[in-house]
Structure 1
């Protein structure tokens, strides 16, 4: 739970721009040599009418001829873009490795040292579980719940032992200041449903999880029978912990996870923890108040501590330690852990190459160190300038749409427009780069190991988080590195953020046709804007505070429209018996619908100001817009990945994002002459119109 920032990200499943040709209409077609960059007609299925199956029409040939790589659980044009970006960053990193002039204390040198230590499997294999032994000995030595809590506090800045966690973050009701939050414990399965639901897939995964836990515990020297016994205890304890947590829909309601109380009140709720001592030990010191994310969980934790099942606690802490460290230990342990989390849970056939995994670690921990180099080589100023112009039009379109909402009263419209106008937009890269000067990363040549560098990173990250407490919120910080192919909305900052890597071909090209760009990055811009007005983001005001700015009447109208959209998605069945959770995915679905509408209107503003280029490859700008949207969401997923996604990911599967929002947009029907009886048709009275 530490360093937890609330962001609503795009979490793209597939991002690319691909086009196709069809019959020429009456308007003049642009000459072939004038065709903008990015057009590709080879991925469509011309045997299908767009009015019957738009996703198949746009992406059918690609679907038929594309295989998911063995080391991936899904594949799409976004994944291709991510892989290509990683190649660019890898080349930059390797160039830096070969640059003998790099300062040994520079951020880039630290990135190099971390990368090398991840790849140093010789040392990792030689060490085995040696790095864990001091921690295992400390766990074995505890005698009661007081000593358990003391150990959690002692190791808080370097190792996670579960049960609960404390972190510093933005006050949801006062976005200018930081406060202390206490959150839930660490669990080995990714969602509550895996523990509490008796659906066949959950029952199967629980059994395999228990088997996996028993297998892993034997690496610690336990006998097979002892490991199996402990695995059963761990599953039982984690199930009790998970049962007390909010479900995935409830967790999206920030009002339910914002529960401020005095430390004295918290002490009364969980007397087994001496909170003053705990907070002092981890470096926070004396506090008057704290925000509890899930009170019911902490009440259950008190019950667990009162039961005094010391052996169960020790087994759980050892497992949490091992699970969290597995990737930095020997190849055998790392591979065994992947067998469950990569293969069993999400369906991958083999692990990704070691250098790709090492790069992912560097990007995750020292992303801005490489980001400086990436931006200098890969992000032209023209891309940012054109994106800014597009953003301006999409914002204007969104404001026009607010003005024209038939269901919203004037006073609430003014509040909505105020929030829109006060939004912050970040493009490309930070104005102020992250300071890694206090982070120590030791090279393998100097005795550094992946495990030790992970420990040093944890200590640095912990201290950096704690230091925020007595400072105002730094709203210049970025939650993603420039080389991240994604985007996000941060409700506390009322900001939308677009890293440089998403502003590149084929997803976005500043030289390409504007209809293409508006259907791609333009709709993503609209998507992130819409997050400020989805069922979750709309609870924050223009200053990023969790304050209601709605009239009761308007809120009831908005909630009803959201319910209708949720019902649309809850009827989608990506696998037999596996349904999309419309309530869980509602925020992202509102984002997609609002994004398409705002970007489409933004395109009309652009065309009015700059002229209509007419047909390109036989398509009008409006058709090219919708084609672009559908292609960016093309994707194929393994069955296990789909099962996992619908339980853990608030985004709908990509193939639905490609066309379901469009079914609610009248202009889509006009662009492709969709009529009653066609597969894509939804009756006008059943089309959901929110923003």
Structure 2
């Protein structure tokens, strides 16, 4: 039986397809293939979505750990024995790969964070401005250059320099917390030179710097149209050298003992100490007040003020006039035209080796930061630091404070009375993280001065005048101990002993110092050691002079303080033996920072051990053979990977209270027994000496 439609057959028995059937079949095959492809795409998308949700826990950590691993390994030089030179081991790769940008004196891992922060700030400033109500016109214009009168009233000169242009001359004049009663503000009168050595030309390098400084003076005086510039420059420089000679050196024990520097006197007594000045007239004018003879003033250097008064008496008024005008020029010259900025750059090049001026855009960003810091900081925090990250940093701080509280019991040289006072100081210590949380209205009040986009220099003068007004108003105001010294975007952290306050702005809580996705070993070794550093400042040779309320009160027993000083001398001796470019590090000058480095490292390490006990061991970093305990120390060292120009090293050793970075690391790890254990360093190896 044959079934079929009677269709024609081709040779071999197969039916012949019509053209329409072929087209129809082709369409069906194409459609089927398309369906298969779409189905596969949907399946893959579903699997990817499932993978992403899984990745929130697994892959995100892996990605962060991979970033951390790459950063650490790129900075290291594994060919160097960590027990011989841990700094070169941890930073050798970074030092080899990086140079110093032409417009910088130094560059390091923290400098790289600064560049990232600057890029974020530039992006914020580049956004279109949302204009609201017209700007406040409260800021009165300071006008142009108000040259002081030639001969005559010295107080008029002082008023212009200190009260109009905020330029410290002969002495500093500020409104500060009364360090013996920090619930009130007081007028403070003190030294003007940070360190006198540079002015005295005691070696070949400082002679070279003095010569460059004099050329700088002559160049600026010429730009200002002065005559006989060589004579004027010589006279001004000689007066500054006289001031340097009567200034107490920062290396002097007296300068480090705040109690010995602090002298509270009445306005009448101050007048008798310095009879060449009319103090009541000067202060009444600057503060817009009518002070009585009983108004209290804190003198930070009574002997210095005696000598300043004598120096004023014997110095011709013409030279005093030129000197004060010069100090105004120094304060304002960076805001003037290109020839002035060129002169500043030439001085920087001679002193510090700076090869290239900052670009105008970077200068503008710097000035915006300086004059509108809190406003810019509010934008920075909103965009670049979450509340969740703040909570994590707060926990990290609490862990480190807990460790200090525990380890106070292990200090066998500290007696019980001193230990109780130390604990009380720890309990009362304020910790400020991220930003001061100012409302928009409060931020606006910080900048109630006139700004005109067409008059840059006048804006600067208006800002200075407004800052002075804010400062002088404080003298009759209640103290706000929660106020911040720096804006939130600052790449810094600090401890204020007269407030017993630690501050960690959002600007320093950035990768790679702190990254919430990094292993905790790196966060404790990175920002954790900096937190421990600032905490230790409350108990070092400087901060330890202040009590839990921030008052200048000696809270140590004599027995404990004597033992503390003996241990501190060991640290002085250690750093005195370090040299860089044939310059010896000054162990006494850097003592406070060295104590803080050593203490901060130990506190952060033990805090990390506490974290591990509570949360369990961390997953290893791929491609790195190091344990997390070892990674903690590597992260600490990599905080300080840095290159400096050779000229700037001279100034650092001479004036900086921090030791050179290489020795900040070596000094700290070599005196910590846990480091030697973690890296299996033989006894008496450089990083594990027998005597610590």
Instruction: Tell me the residue number matched to 1:8.
Output: none
Encode CA deviations 1:58-116: one digit per residue, 9 max, x unaligned.
11122112110110001101001001101101100111xx23x3225469x99xx9xxx
106 and 532 in structure 1: CA distance in 2 versus 1, 3 angstrom threshold: farther
Q: How far apart are 1:56 and its partner, in Å?
A: 1.1
Is 1:230 the counterpart of 2:232? The answer is: yes
Encode CA deviations 1:318-376: one digit per residue, 9 max, x unaligned.
21121111111111112112211x21222110111111111111111210101111111
Equivalent residue of 1:179, what SS?
strand
Q: Which runs of 5+ in 1 are unaligned?
A: 1-29, 114-129
- 2 CA distance for matches of 1:369 and 1:601? 38
Q: Is the 8 A contact 1:164 1:182 kept in 2?
A: yes
- 1 CA distance for matches of 2:131 and 2:61? 50
Instruction: Tell me the residue number matched to 1:204.
Output: 208
105 and 89 in structure 1: CA distance in 2 versus 1, 3 angstrom threshold: farther
- 1 CA distance for matches of 2:598 and 2:168? 41
Q: Is the 8 A contact 2:157 2:324 kept in 1?
A: no
Q: Is the 8 A contact 2:201 2:210 kept in 1?
A: no
Q: How far apart are 1:237 and its partner, in Å?
A: 0.4
Instruction: Indicate which of 350, 360, 364 corresponds to 1:354.
Output: 360
Q: Is the 8 A contact 2:256 2:542 kept in 1?
A: yes
Encode CA deviations 1:587-638: one digit per residue, 9 max, x unaligned.
1111111100100110111111111226433222211110110011110100
Instruction: Tell me the residue number matched to 2:94.
Output: 62
- 1 CA distance for matches of 2:566 and 2:241? 34
Q: Is the 8 A contact 1:195 1:206 kept in 2?
A: yes
- 1 CA distance for matches of 2:143 and 2:652? 34
Is 1:282 the counterpart of 2:289? The answer is: no
Q: Is the 8 A contact 1:157 1:463 kept in 2?
A: no
Q: Is the 8 A contact 2:150 2:318 kept in 1?
A: no
Instruction: Tell me the residue number matched to 1:318.
Output: 325
Instruction: Tell me the residue number matched to 1:405.
Output: 411
What is the count of residue pairs matched by the alignment? 618
Equivalent residue of 1:151, what SS?
helix
260 and 636 in structure 1: CA distance in 2 versus 1, 3 angstrom threshold: same
Instruction: Tell me the residue number matched to 1:633.
Output: 640
131 and 289 in structure 1: CA distance in 2 versus 1, 3 angstrom threshold: closer
Instruction: Tell me the residue number matched to 2:186.
Output: 179
- 1 CA distance for matches of 2:117 and 2:515? 15
Instruction: Indicate which of 123, 134, 143 corresponds to 2:151.
Output: 143
Q: How far apart are 1:155 and its partner, in Å?
A: 5.3
Instruction: Tell me the residue number matched to 1:44.
Output: 76
Instruction: Tell me the residue number matched to 1:427.
Output: 433
Instruction: Tell me the residue number matched to 2:173.
Output: 166
Instruction: Tell me the residue number matched to 1:19.
Output: none
- 2 CA distance for matches of 1:176 and 1:359? 36
Q: How far apart are 1:35 and its partner, in Å?
A: 3.1
Once the two structures are superposed, the pairs formed by residues 331-346 of structure 1 within 5 Å of their partners are: 331-340=338-347, 342-346=348-352
Instruction: Tell me the residue number matched to 1:4.
Output: none
Q: Is the 8 A contact 1:249 1:584 kept in 2?
A: yes
Encode CA deviations 1:388-410: one digit per residue, 9 max, x unaligned.
11111100001111111111111
Instruction: Tell me the residue number matched to 1:654.
Output: 661
- 1 CA distance for matches of 2:155 and 2:63? 70
154 and 639 in structure 1: CA distance in 2 versus 1, 3 angstrom threshold: closer
Q: How far apart are 1:222 and its partner, in Å?
A: 2.6
Q: How far apart are 1:529 and its partner, in Å?
A: 0.4
Q: CA RMSD in A?
A: 2.2
Is 1:473 the counterpart of 2:484? The answer is: no
Q: How far apart are 1:36 and its partner, in Å?
A: 5.8
Encode CA deviations 1:163-221: one digit per residue, 9 max, x unaligned.
23322110101111111111234x6xx63011235122112211221222122211121
- 1 CA distance for matches of 2:627 and 2:478? 50
Q: How far apart are 1:506 and its partner, in Å?
A: 1.3
Is 1:295 the counterpart of 2:306? The answer is: no
Q: Is the 8 A contact 1:168 1:466 kept in 2?
A: yes
Instruction: Tell me the residue number matched to 2:121.
Output: 89
Q: Is the 8 A contact 1:371 1:481 kept in 2?
A: yes
- 2 CA distance for matches of 1:386 and 1:31? 16
Instruction: Indicate which of 430, 440, 450 corresponds to 1:441.
Output: 450
Q: How far apart are 1:444 and its partner, in Å?
A: 2.9
- 1 CA distance for matches of 2:341 and 2:77? 42
Q: Is the 8 A contact 1:518 1:603 kept in 2?
A: yes
- 1 CA distance for matches of 2:61 and 2:345? 52
- 2 CA distance for matches of 1:252 and 1:435? 36
Instruction: Tell me the residue number matched to 2:494.
Output: 488
Once the two structures are superposed, the pairs formed by residues 88-107 of structure 1 within 5 Å of their partners are: 88-95=120-127, 98-99=128-129, 101-103=130-132, 105=134
TM-score scaled by structure 1?
0.86
- 2 CA distance for matches of 1:530 and 1:316? 41
Instruction: Tell me the residue number matched to 2:243.
Output: 241
Instruction: Tell me the residue number matched to 2:52.
Output: none
- 2 CA distance for matches of 1:454 and 1:151? 20
Equivalent residue of 1:482, what SS?
coil
- 2 CA distance for matches of 1:196 and 1:33? 56
Encode CA deviations 1:511-566: one digit per residue, 9 max, x unaligned.
11111100011111100100000100000001111000001011011111111101
Q: Is the 8 A contact 2:212 2:351 kept in 1?
A: no
Is 1:603 the counterpart of 2:608? The answer is: yes
612 and 537 in structure 1: CA distance in 2 versus 1, 3 angstrom threshold: same
Is 1:624 the counterpart of 2:626? The answer is: no
- 2 CA distance for matches of 1:335 and 1:612? 56
Q: Is the 8 A contact 1:49 1:57 kept in 2?
A: yes
- 1 CA distance for matches of 2:688 and 2:495? 32
Q: Is the 8 A contact 1:37 1:511 kept in 2?
A: no
Q: How far apart are 1:676 and its partner, in Å?
A: 3.1
Q: Which has the higher contact order (CA 8 A, sep 6+)?
A: 1
